[in-house]
Chains A and B, each alone.
Chain A
Amino acid sequence: MFEYAPAPESRSVVDIKPSYGLFVDGKFVDPVDGGSFKSINPASEEVLAEIAEAGSEDVDRAVRAARQAYEKVWGPMPGRDRAKYLFRIARLIQERSRELAVLESLDNGKPIKESRDVDLPLVAAHFFYYAGWADKLEHAGFGGNPRPLGVAAQVIPWNFPLLMLAWKIAPALAAGNTVVLKPAETTPLTALLFAEICQQADLPAGVVNIVTGAGDTGRALVEHPGVDKVAFTGSTEVGRAIARSVAGTRKKLTLELGGKAANIVFDDAPIDQAVEGIVNGIFFNQGHVCCAGSRLLVQESVADRVLESLKRRMAQLRVGDPLDKNTDIGAINSAEQLARIRELSDAGSAEGAERWSPPCELPDRGFWFAPTIFTGVTQAHRIAREEIFGPVLSVLTFRTPAEAVEKANNTPYGLSAGIWTDKGSRILWVADRLRAGVVWANTFNKFDPTSPFGGYKESGYGREGGRHGLEAYLNV
């Protein structure tokens, strides 16, 4: 046997402070009422830092700082000068990418190979991409002189903390808005390091403000009368509440919510690569991906063969220490999320689906869930309908392309989908009929700053990325 020796990335590259304040008006400040919470490492349950909890007064301070910066500095600033700051931030992110990657893996639990090879390169790419738009907005297709909206309230999830920050902040700033961003309460650390990068880049005070906290902080932020724009990525449930609270106000809203994507494998698919795509689709980032390919629809005539290959491949997945460079699947982000994954998986077994996981040893401390597939799943099972947001795949079969499309669309969600076939005409036929914002053909979970991303139906509205992503931050 060829056993890989531990290959841990050094955590000494990042300096975590014992406590963090709120980033308001260019400075770290203490919250008015002094509340705080702890951010832990989900792989070990070790406390990483004490984080300030922003109350409504703190949110108000942040929104006023953002308003001031919008009116006095950032709004009037020529696009080419805004671009200069964004390019500078992008370069600093690249320079400090190792530090950011280690911190992301510590706080989130995702494997270092993903934070290093996927998250961080994409974060920098988003800033570079939107920096390029800042002085070319009149060419973006929204008229001759598109204006920013003002102050954007942005609430982001814990699955890609820094990447979601980049998706929100880069287009907002490029378009001339200022922002108040609330990172998720379980993963605030990279956003706070990003605040330091804003200081390092000499970004004018108040252009970016970071308020940390949980649901109450987020509610105070999106309901604040001083914000012009609300952007949220997270669960459909919270998204609905936000849509209700924003209804009837002048605030512009974009939502990127849950998903239950179908990954459709036809009988003429390149099987080995399809299996890689299935694995990447559901086990990437422990399945904490809103566009995860959580429903595998496989044509019945190749189902046995695909499942056999899939199981063999799953047995190669290395679950464990997120900082080990050879880890494929890291820790589940929180005890709460682990409980939800367990609950839905147990429901899958109880409802009669057949559960399988490769033999794999899970660490004693921290939050872990073995990669799991359910076969014999039907559309009526909860695990085929509800978003699990974990490394759990539901396998369903189909007989004809029309049936595949029908089943794929038979969900309240519509964020993404995958098609695997060697036949180009079938890719086009199926893609035309799928009600999903992103359709991948013979690949999955491919992201690029130039490509718009967003959902149909209960997966939300508005697009992030590309030229389309600018629209959410312009008065058009």
Chain B
Amino acid sequence: MTATATSARSDLSELGRSETALRTFLHGLPGVDQVGAEQRAAQLGTRSIKTTAKAQAIDLAIRMVDLTTLEGADTPGKVRALATKALRPDPADPSCPHVGAVCVYPAMVPYVAEVLRGSGVHLASVATAFPSGQAPLDVKLADTRAAVEAGADEIDMVINRGAFLAGRYQEVYDEIVATKEACGDAHLKVILETGELATYDNVRRASWLAMLAGGDFIKTSTGKVPVAATPPVTLVMLEAVRDFRAATGRQVGVKPAGGIKTTKDAIKYLVMVNETVGADWLDPDWFRFGASSLLNDLLMQRTKLTTGVYAGPDYFTLD
């Protein structure tokens, strides 16, 4: 078994050296049947998570939130407020955990860093000409380095979808490798923008490509195109990280982002993680939600579970 695993590992590391090898490998992955994948995702969504399991899931989901603001209108004041909320999401309840990370544009990183320093909450920054990725490589890398220097310890990059859809896998691969290098010690999340990849076969291929190139996380979406994270897309990505670990021994995280707004949705994703990749991924180090309004719904449901009554929206902070 060890011998097989080792040889598999060295085999995969060679793939990035040639366009042909990458293409052969990615197109040799088992296909995804659309109807079947959607049906499985829907089935997992029918699990009934109640009482103690729900309480456990809500706290875990809060710890997995990448509290995000990615607006042209973001200001130092706005992101400081968000970072403060990340530390203590429910000011009325000190037992409420802090979120996983705060995610902002590179220019906002210094202001967030001041607030988060030493707190254990990670600081993520989008980079590489987010959200389109349509900039020269050196600009994207400079963007990345600037974010890391300013204090980001996680970088959310976008892949070059144009190159991917045109079949130029090597180019996509090389960009991810270069960005990973520019990240230094920062963790690299690779945004596939699955809404633009359109098919589940593409999602599976892009997931493998990102992992082969060294991504620490694969992330569904920027939140800036009409179709963001969906349960079946996340399912296909979870299957990819599961199979990748089986083949290489390396564990990669998954981050669905965009459109996850309710506790009910978040719990469906946790059930999917639990039944697809198992407990190893049920941790903020390996699974995150890219979201903003989700947090208040989680807090509202958490309060409901502890007090038995729903508090009005004015009892939860708007930042």
Q: Is the CB of B36 within 8 A of A325?
A: no
Q: Which residue of B lies closest to A442 (CB)?
A: B33
Q: Please, which residues of chain B bring their CB within 8 A of the CB of A4?
A: 47-49, 53
- Pick from B46, B53, B271: contact of A117, CB below 8 A: B46
Q: State in angstroms the CA–CA spacing of A428 and B56 once bound together.
A: 49
Indicate whether B282 reaches chain A with its CB closer than 8 angstroms. Answer: yes
Q: How far is the CB of A440 from chain B (nearest CB, A)?
A: 11
Q: Which residue of B lies closest to A308 (CB)?
A: B246
Q: Could you list 24 A-B pairs, sorted by A, with CB under 8 Å?
A: A2-B53, A2-B56, A2-B57, A2-B282, A3-B52, A4-B48, A4-B53, A5-B53, A6-B50, A7-B49, A113-B46, A268-B31, A271-B30, A272-B32, A272-B36, A272-B40, A272-B239, A276-B36, A276-B39, A316-B275, A325-B47, A326-B47, A422-B31, A442-B36
Indicate whether A391 reaches chain B with its CB closer than 8 angstroms. Answer: no
Indicate whether A269 reaches chain B with its CB closer than 8 angstroms. Answer: yes
Q: Is the CB of B48 within 8 A of A326?
A: yes
Q: Please, which residues of chain A bring their CB within 8 A of the CB of B51?
A: 5
Q: State in angstroms the CA–CA spacing of A443 and B50 once bound together.
A: 31
Q: Hey, what's the 0/1 contact readout for B37-66 against A, CB within 8 Å counting as 1?
A: 101100000111111111011001000000
Q: How far is the CB of B26 from chain A (nearest CB, A)?
A: 15
Q: Please, which residues of chain B bring their CB within 8 A of the CB of A422?
A: 31, 33
On whether A1 and B279 interact (CB within 8 A), knowing A113-B46, A269-B30, A271-B30, the answer reads yes
On whether A2 and B47 interact (CB within 8 A), knowing A270-B36, A272-B30, A442-B33, the answer reads no
Q: Please, which residues of chain B bring their CB within 8 A of the CB of A316?
A: 275
Interface residues of B in 52-107 (CB under 8 A from A): 52-54, 56-57, 60
Chain B interface secondary structure, helix, strand, loop or mixed? Answer: helix
Q: Please, which residues of chain A bring their CB within 8 A of the CB of B271?
A: 2
Interface residues of B in 279-298 (CB under 8 A from A): 279, 282
Q: Please, which residues of chain A bring their CB within 8 A of the CB of B46?
A: 113, 117, 325
* Further contacts, 17 of them, CB under 8 A, given A1-B279, A269-B31, A270-B31: A1-B282, A2-B56, A2-B271, A2-B274, A7-B49, A7-B50, A117-B46, A268-B31, A270-B32, A272-B37, A273-B33, A273-B40, A274-B33, A276-B36, A276-B40, A325-B47, A326-B47
Q: How far is the CB of B108 from chain A (nearest CB, A)?
A: 34
Indicate whether B35 reaches chain A with its CB closer than 8 angstroms. Answer: yes
Q: How far is the CB of A317 from chain B (nearest CB, A)?
A: 10
Indicate whether B270 reaches chain A with its CB closer than 8 angstroms. Answer: yes
Q: State in angstroms the CA–CA spacing of A368 and B203 once bound together.
A: 40
Indicate whether A371 reaches chain B with its CB closer than 8 angstroms. Answer: no
Chain A interface secondary structure, helix, strand, loop or mixed? Answer: loop
Q: Which residue of A lies closest to B57 (CB)?
A: A2
Indicate whether A277 reaches chain B with its CB closer than 8 angstroms. Answer: yes
Q: State in angstroms the CA–CA spacing of A392 and B47 once bound together.
A: 25
Most chain B CB within 10 A, of A1, A4, A117, A268, is at A4
Q: State in angstroms the CA–CA spacing of A269 and B53 once bound together.
A: 36
Q: Please, which residues of chain B bring their CB within 8 A of the CB of A270?
A: 30-33, 36
Q: Please, which residues of chain A bring their CB within 8 A of the CB of B239?
A: 272
Q: Which residue of B lies closest to A313 (CB)?
A: B275
Interface residues of A in 1-19 (CB under 8 A from B): 1-7
Interface residues of B in 230-276 (CB under 8 A from A): 239, 270-271, 274-275
State the B residues within 8 Å of A (CB).
30-33, 35-37, 39-40, 46-54, 56-57, 60, 239, 270-271, 274-275, 279, 282
Q: Hey, what's the 0/1 contact readout for A7-46 against B, CB within 8 Å counting as 1?
A: 1000000000000000000000000000000000000000
Q: How far is the CB of A228 from chain B (nearest CB, A)?
A: 41
Q: State in angstroms the CA–CA spacing of A382 and B54 once bound together.
A: 46
Q: Please, which residues of chain A bring their CB within 8 A of the CB of B50?
A: 5-7
- Pick from A1, A2, A7, A443: contact of B36, CB below 8 A: A443
Q: State in angstroms the CA–CA spacing of A303 and B115 once bound together.
A: 54
Q: State in angstroms the CA–CA spacing of A442 and B38 once bound together.
A: 13
Q: State in angstroms the CA–CA spacing of A326 and B31 once bound together.
A: 29
Q: How far is the CB of B151 from chain A (nearest CB, A)?
A: 33
Instruction: Please name the 4 residue pairs, one residue from A and one from B, whose CB atoms are nearest each other, closest first.
Output: A273-B36, A7-B48, A325-B48, A270-B33
Q: Which residue of A lies closest to B240 (CB)?
A: A272
Q: Which residue of B lies closest to A273 (CB)?
A: B36
- Pick from B31, B32, B37, B279: contact of A2, CB below 8 A: B279
Q: How far is the CB of A5 from chain B (nearest CB, A)?
A: 4
Most chain B CB within 10 A, of A2, A3, A276, is at A2
Q: How far is the CB of B318 from chain A (nearest CB, A)?
A: 30
Q: State in angstroms the CA–CA spacing of A260 and B279 once bound together.
A: 37
Q: Please, which residues of chain B bring their CB within 8 A of the CB of A442?
A: 33, 35-36
Q: How far is the CB of B301 from chain A (nearest CB, A)?
A: 15
Q: How far is the CB of A150 from chain B (nearest CB, A)?
A: 42
Q: Is the CB of B35 within 8 A of A443?
A: yes
Q: How far is the CB of A83 from chain B (nearest CB, A)?
A: 33
Q: How far is the CB of B97 from chain A (nearest CB, A)?
A: 16
Q: Please, which residues of chain A bring their CB within 8 A of the CB of B282?
A: 1-2
Q: How far is the CB of B253 from chain A (nearest CB, A)?
A: 17
Q: State in angstroms the CA–CA spacing of A276 and B282 once bound together.
A: 22
- Pick from B32, B47, B56: contact of A273, CB below 8 A: B32
Q: Is the CB of A5 within 8 A of B52?
A: yes
Q: Please, which residues of chain A bring their CB within 8 A of the CB of B47?
A: 4, 325-326
Q: How far is the CB of B37 from chain A (nearest CB, A)?
A: 6
Q: State in angstroms the CA–CA spacing of A270 and B199 once bound together.
A: 14
Q: State in angstroms the CA–CA spacing of A3 and B57 once bound together.
A: 10
Interface residues of A in 247-285 (CB under 8 A from B): 268-274, 276-277
Q: How far is the CB of A161 from chain B (nearest CB, A)?
A: 22
Q: State in angstroms the CA–CA spacing of A2 and B58 once bound together.
A: 11
Interface residues of A in 445-470 (CB under 8 A from B): none
Q: State in angstroms the CA–CA spacing of A422 and B47 once bound together.
A: 30
Q: Which residue of A lies closest to B204 (CB)?
A: A272
Q: Please, which residues of chain A bring their CB within 8 A of the CB of B36?
A: 270, 272-274, 276-277, 442-443
Q: Please, which residues of chain A bring their CB within 8 A of the CB of B53?
A: 2-5
